[in-house]
Structure 1
Amino acid sequence: MIALKDVQFRYKKQRPLFENLNLTLQPGFIYGLLGKNGAGKSSLLKHMAGLLYPNSGECRVFGYNAQDRDPNMLQDIYVIPEEFELPGINISSYVSNNAVFYTRFDYAQMDAYLTEFELPRTVKLSNLSYGQKKKFLIAFGLSTNARLLILDEPTNGLDIPSKSQFRKIMASALDEEKLIIISTHQVRDLENLIDNIVVLEQGSIIFNQNVAAISERVTFEYNLNGVPDDEVLYSEELHGRRAGIVKNLSGMETRVDLELLFNGIVKDAATINRHFAN
């Protein structure tokens, strides 16, 4: 479990980024962390990995204080950052040098992921394309079997077939002990993958709901003609029509449009949250 309690943080000579931020994340779920540029997503992920320290409050990961970076905690965390550099060695050498830091590393699993992603084993990592490097890090991260996997913009650089592979692999990798956090702007890449949506705006959590609850409480309509105004929670112009988020009065589960949902939350989180509170 990850638990952030009353976290306050600011970079030097800047306004506070987090003020009394509270968030609890449970194993067994894939969380989608969404937010605009500058909302604080990467900084939040770094707190969870113990790479940034709160000015006050605490961030605990599996019972450890994250900023202590206890080796027992670190062997259970793998972070795939948005920006990275890989050394000029081949895949086999990288695995041999780094797998030893993860007690549950599965070499057969790694080999299967490499085959799935069609990654060459003998070419130097530094000579791979950006998309190939990203797929290698995803394969290695999953093979560590770390209980916490943090991915920052994991689908950047992946082509359409690779994104489909990514979704399939991520869904099959989850178990009741693992906690996966995916931070992205590519919200459509997360559809049918994530279990919970957390939206960060200006350093504050403005929305935190389970996808199943979202699908039961709201529907996403692409032509609001004839829909009573008191049932519409958010609307926008889309392809010449008025689309939006509508109260789900039937109680039947519906498809969640993450892009439309995100737009609505950023524009009017209070209205949408009130509906979920009722």
Structure 2
Amino acid sequence: MEPVVHIEGLTFGYTSRSPLFQELSLSLRPGEVAGLLGENGAGKTTLLKLIAGELFPDEGVGEVFGIPSERRDPSVLARLWFLPEELPSYSIPAEDYACSTGAFYPGYRHDELLDLCDQLEVDVRQKLTRLSYGQQKKFFLAFALATGVPLLLLDEPTNGLDIPSKRQVRRLIPRYAAEGRTFLISTHQVRDLEHLIDPVIILHKGRIVLHASMDELQERLSFVVLPEAPPDALYVEKVPGGYGAILPGGGKGEVDLELLFDAARSRESELPRIWRKEELV
């Protein structure tokens, strides 16, 4: 199966003196809901913009549907949607925006947009500038799903949403992923997407320090809470009730993404070094 996104040896920097990415590699397959985790400033938004063709790599390969993203090929742009964290502002009714912009996407379905907006309780008759940030976020997410594109790049999609809206989003995305559509979702709010994303991609200081499926993580790691810190832990931190720990060898506990995220970017953790060398047993 050909990857939807293929990045290999990519180097990029906003200045030549301090590259943000060096020799970055990443592939995404159809139907994946990949979670791009990282703290603020890790380069998550920059990576999404490189994939979307809004930024151009200095070196290396960055392909979407087999075509270099920097070409901004119309056939590629018609098959992806990038939802930025900072939303565009238009003083027109939301439905008018959808009708005019949807014309650029062959798979766009207006009836589906209206149904999604009804589910998310967004009034499409309102001007976008009159909607709250959370309502705008839900509208643009609904539009993204209604475009029918096979690749959706979502930058912090749960920011600004209340708890019921986050729950609705977590229900919608798997439904569309089951159709073979690929999602790359960047977030630093790990708990919002804990039971949604697979695979997990952790970006730290311009490097991908971990890229693994949930099955791989469960097979190779155990996540436990113990009254005392275990000496053989790959990573351990104080949590309510004792010590949260990641141990080599699978079979214990559900994957704790927050603990995994902390471990992957900690200097004290053995997880990144051992995982890269594939020495886990």
How far apart, in 1, do the equivalents of 2:124 and 2:199 lie?
A: 35
Where structure 1 has 5 or more consecutive residues not aligned to the other structure, the ranges are none
1:55 is matched with 58
The 8 Å contact of residues 27 and 176 in structure 1, kept in 2 or not, is answered as: no
2:89 is matched with 86
Q: In the alignment, does 2:243 pair up with 1:247?
A: no
- For the residue of structure 1 that corresponds to 2:123, the secondary structure is coil
Deviations 1:177-236 (A, max 9, x none): 3210000011001111011011111111110000121122222222253x7522x11100
Q: In the alignment, does 2:205 pair up with 1:202?
A: yes
How far apart, in 1, do the equivalents of 2:207 and 2:152 lie?
A: 22
Q: Tell me how large the CA RMSD over aligned residues is.
A: 1.7
Displacement of 1:10 after TM fit?
A: 1.2
The 8 Å contact of residues 30 and 182 in structure 1, kept in 2 or not, is answered as: yes
2:237 is matched with 236
- Paired residue type of 1:137: F
Deviations 1:53-91 (A, max 9, x none): 111112000011100001000000101101122211112
2:37 is matched with 34
Q: In the alignment, does 2:141 pair up with 1:138?
A: yes
Rate the CA distance shift 1:176–1:63 in 2: closer, same or farther, 3 A: farther
Moved runs in structure 1, 4+ residues, more than 3 A?
271-278
> How many pairs are equivalent?
274
1:260 is matched with 259
Q: In the alignment, does 2:187 pair up with 1:184?
A: yes
Rate the CA distance shift 1:155–1:206 in 2: closer, same or farther, 3 A: same
Displacement of 1:119 after TM fit?
A: 0.8
- For the residue of structure 2 that corresponds to 1:229, the secondary structure is coil
The 8 Å contact of residues 82 and 153 in structure 1, kept in 2 or not, is answered as: yes
The 8 Å contact of residues 7 and 63 in structure 2, kept in 1 or not, is answered as: yes
The 8 Å contact of residues 224 and 244 in structure 1, kept in 2 or not, is answered as: no
How far apart, in 2, do the equivalents of 1:261 and 1:72 lie?
A: 38
1:214 is matched with 217
How far apart, in 2, do the equivalents of 1:12 and 1:233 lie?
A: 36
- Paired residue type of 1:237: K
Deviations 1:146-172 (A, max 9, x none): 111000000000000000000001111
